[in-house]
């Protein structure tokens, strides 16, 4: 039997939740509805979904707070989260991404846009059939085993950050614009905004720890990955001193 992607819908308005549930069923998904944070956590404890549709405004614990919590838990940190929000302002969108959401969709939205966004986020999190490895400076990435190490110490990255780092390492020392990274790492769909790249670069730097400075911001141009520069030697003493 074909696996239908399981979608956890966390939405407190029954009419909206039911509408999303029906459309997802027709779209080839297996939806489950939770009306608050307690029910959502209960569903997650029982069976992990392939993606979470998370409403921003929930009774009790907000969607923003839930996203932050799930991103900190080893069992749920890699599940794609798509936030449903009536907040269309950029600061609110950025807050959702910073909280750990992979994407967001502003109400009201069309069924086709919702389905396309879910498919897009699932594509980005799907494992790639690649078997190469690459080393830049003290940073090594093995795509076959999905492992990353810096100076022999293993690092843990989320799926999107892994793909972003893989691309940057394969094209080290070159500057890549945000639009290029969206195309090469996220794919050529039209829904993701360039600000998303900045959020994932921030996450990547944090996950890399001491190797974070290797991901450089090139002002007005984009990002590049470079080997960490050697420490500067002490300046020579002035002649005659």
pLDDT at residue 129 is higher than 70: no
Are residue 20 and residue 117 in the same domain, yes or no?
Answer: yes
69-92 tens-digit pLDDT: 998 888 888 889 998 887 666 666
Both 111 and 141 in a single domain?
no
| H helix intervals, 82-239 | 90-98, 111-125, 159-170, 178-181, 195-208
Structural domain contains residue 156: yes
Residue with tokens 């029982």: 46
Out of 107, 125, 143, a domain closes at 125
d(CA 28, CA 7): 11
37 in the same domain as 112: yes
Same domain for 117 and 138, yes or no, is: no
> What would the two tokens of residue 34 be?
């939770």
Decide if 78 is inside a domain. yes
Per the structure, how many domains does the chain have? 2
Dihedral pair phi/psi, residue 197, rounded to 5°: -60, -45
Top-ranked range on mean pLDDT: pick from 5-9, 74-78, 104-108, 179-183: 5-9
CB 192 within 8 A of CB 186: yes
Count of other CB atoms within 10 angstroms of residue 166: 22
Alpha carbon 81 to its chain's center: 8
Lowest mean pLDDT among 15-24, 36-45, 98-107, 143-152: 98-107
**C-alpha distances in angstroms, 211 versus 156, 227, 241?**
13, 9, 39
Considering the domain architecture, whether residues 89 and 157 belong to the same structural domain is answered as no
One domain, residues 104 and 141: no
Mean pLDDT, the chain, as a whole number?
Answer: 83
Nearest-angstrom CA–CA distance, 108 and 133: 44
Whether 208 shows a pLDDT value over 80: the answer reads yes
Residue 214 lies in a domain: yes
Identify the residue with better confidence: 95 or 164: 164
Residue 174 and residue 100 share a domain:
no
CATH of the domain at 36: 3.40.50.2300
Of the candidate ranges 38-47, 61-70, 84-93, 103-112, the one whose mean pLDDT is the lowest? 84-93
Is the full-model pTM beyond 0.75? no
Domain that residue 207 falls in: 133-225
Does the residue 234 lie in any domain? no
Q: What are all long-range contacts of 65-74, with beta carbons under 8 Å and residues at least 24 apart?
A: 65/37, 65/99, 66/10, 66/37, 66/40, 67/96, 67/99, 67/100, 67/101, 68/99, 68/100, 70/44, 70/100, 71/99, 71/100
Rounded distance, CA 48 to CA 80, Å?
11
Residue 77 shares a structural domain with residue 188: no
Largest CA distance in the chain: 85
Query: DSSP secondary structure string, 67-109?
Result: HHHHHHSTTTTTS-EEEEES--SHHHHHHHHHTT-SEEEESS-
How far is CA 145 from each of CA 128, 149, 172, 209, rounded to the nearest angstrom? 11, 12, 21, 21
pLDDT score recorded for residue 149:
92
Same domain as 221, residue 111: no
pLDDT in the model for residue 139: 92
Q: Is the pLDDT of residue 234 over 70?
A: no
Q: Let me know whether 48 and 85 are in one domain.
A: yes
In this structure, is residue 238 part of a structural domain? Answer: no
CATH number of 167's domain: 1.10.10.10
From 59, 90, 125, the end of a domain falls on 125
Residue 47 has pLDDT above 60, yes or no: yes
Chain-centroid distance, C-alpha 91: 18
Predicted local confidence at residue 127, as pLDDT: 54
Tell me how far apart the alpha carbons of residues 229 and 51 are, in angstroms, rounded to a whole number.
Answer: 40
Q: Is residue 36 domain-shared with residue 120, that is, in the same domain?
A: yes
Per-residue pLDDT tens over the stretch 21-46:
999 999 999 999 999 999 999 998 88
pLDDT at 215: 95
């Amino acid at each position: 039997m074909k696996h239908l992607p399981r979608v956890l819908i966390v939405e407190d308005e029954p009419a909206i939740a039911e509408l999303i549930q029906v459309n997802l069923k027709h779209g080839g998904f297996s939806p489950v509805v939770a009306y608050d944070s307690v029910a959502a956590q209960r569903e997650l404890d029982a069976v992990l979904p392939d993606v979470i549709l998370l409403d921003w405004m929930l009774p009790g614990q907000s969607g923003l707070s839930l996203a932050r919590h799930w991103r900190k838990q080893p069992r749920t940190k890699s599940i794609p989260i798509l936030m449903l929000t009536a907040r269309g302002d950029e600061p609110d969108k950025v807050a959702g991404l910073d909280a750990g959401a992979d994407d967001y969709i502003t109400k009201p939205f069309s069924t086709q846009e919702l389905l396309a966004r879910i498919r897009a986020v699932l594509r980005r999190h799907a494992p790639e059939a690649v078997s190469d490895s690459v080393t830049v400076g003290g940073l090594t990435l093995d795509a076959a085993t999905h492992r990353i190490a810096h100076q022999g110490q293993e690092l843990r990255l989320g799926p999107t950050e892994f793909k972003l780092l893989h691309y940057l390492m394969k094209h080290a020392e070159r500057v890549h614009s945000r639009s290029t990274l969206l195309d090469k790492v996220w794919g050529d769909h039209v829904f993701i905004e360039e600000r998303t790249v900045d959020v994932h670069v921030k996450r990547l730097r944090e996950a890399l720890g001491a190797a974070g400075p290797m991901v450089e911001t090139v002002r007005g141009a984009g990002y590049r990955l470079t080997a960490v520069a050697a420490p500067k030697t002490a300046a020579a003493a002035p002649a005659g001193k």
